[in-house]
Structure 1
Amino acid sequence: MSSDPRAFPSQSTVHLQIARTYAACISAFEQYTDIHIVRWRVLFMLYNRGESTQKELAEHTGLDGWSITRAVKPMEEEGFIERELVRSDNRLTLVKLTAAGRALYKRLEKRREAFLRHALHGMGPDEVELMERLLARVESNLADPELAAAFKPDPAA
């Protein structure tokens, strides 16, 4: 099988399947956990990485700074996180989970596990690992500026 994407049939719908799967995953995840996916990503990162600046949260979640700010503000108001300016650089805001935030994570983690059992039902560990590798490769390809330049269509064509 060719690894050259130009060899793929023009009627390939893999990108549409990825989009449909993403939308279905987000919708089901939010129904299982009763939390918006952006808020979950912030909660997940803080629980698993510890306190972080909002800039680090953006980098590690793949979200833009505005999305992080919109997620963090209500989470702070609800008592799940605390924010404070970094003393050495007042341009940066440090974010950390409160006890209530850690408890929320633990409660939602059980719901996330149920979601994953549902979504991955009938798949073996090897299939899940293969899917993770393939999706990571797609993400890496799309983030590679050299590949983007190599495959970008000629605007005159």
Structure 2
Amino acid sequence: MLYRPFENRLNVLLNKHNLHRAQWTILYYLYNYGASTLVEISHYQGVEKPTITRTFASLEEMSYVEQVAGRDKREKRMQLTGQGTAVYEEVRVTIDQFEKEILKDISESELIDFIRVMEEIKNNIKK
């Protein structure tokens, strides 16, 4: 009941920036966690690596991300480009506004409780 309306509205907002949710999630991850492998990103998102590979390729075509050398020659790490960082920061303003709208009239304590309950549900699912 919550996921689809949220996802649809988020994609409408992201579309104004020529992005979709999967791309945004990668930009978010790289901005907040730094250079990472596709496997690390796929674990974060809970999706298969080929899905991340395709999404990453589309971001690379837009010059938002790039491959950089890893710890050894076999490891490929991905990072935001300067343009990708600028786009993330621009889109972040839109996302912050969206979050503010959807959390209107919800107290901080209610939000903390909600997050805690969702974490418990997630942990129960993973058992």
Q: CA deviation at 1:33?
A: 2.5
RMSD after superposition: 1.4
Distance (whole Å) between structure 2 residues aligned to residue 100 and residue 131 of structure 1 = 35
Moved over 6 A (4+): none
| Residue 106, structure 1, aligned to residue 89, structure 2 | yes
Give the structure-1-normalised TM-score. Answer: 0.74
Distance (whole Å) between structure 2 residues aligned to residue 137 and residue 66 of structure 1 = 29
Structure 2: state its 5+ residue gaps. none
CA deviation string 1:97-122 (max 9, x = no partner): 00000001000100001110121111
| Residue 65, structure 1, aligned to residue 46, structure 2 | no
Other-structure match for 1:133: 116
Distance (whole Å) between structure 2 residues aligned to residue 33 and residue 121 of structure 1 = 20
Larger Rg: 1
Structure 1: state its 5+ residue gaps. 1-19, 145-157
Q: CA deviation at 1:47?
A: 0.1
Amino acid at match of 2:124: N
* Residues 44-83 of structure 1: pairs in structure 2 closer than 5 A: 44-83=28-67
Give the one of 30, 38, 41 matched to 2:11.
30
Amino acid at match of 1:76: E
SS at match of 1:79: coil
SS at match of 1:82: strand
| Percent identity over paired residues | 23
CA deviation string 1:32-70 (max 9, x = no partner): 232211111100000000100111111222222122111
Q: CA deviation at 1:83?
A: 1.5
Q: CA deviation at 1:143?
A: 0.6
Q: Is the 8 A contact 2:14 2:21 kept in 1?
A: no
Q: Is the 8 A contact 1:38 1:67 kept in 2?
A: no
Distance (whole Å) between structure 1 residues aligned to residue 27 and residue 42 of structure 2 = 12
Q: Is the 8 A contact 2:67 2:77 kept in 1?
A: yes
Distance (whole Å) between structure 2 residues aligned to residue 33 and residue 122 of structure 1 = 24
Distance (whole Å) between structure 1 residues aligned to residue 7 and residue 73 of structure 2 = 36
Give the structure-2-normalised TM-score. Answer: 0.90
Other-structure match for 1:122: 105
Give the count of matched residue pairs.
124
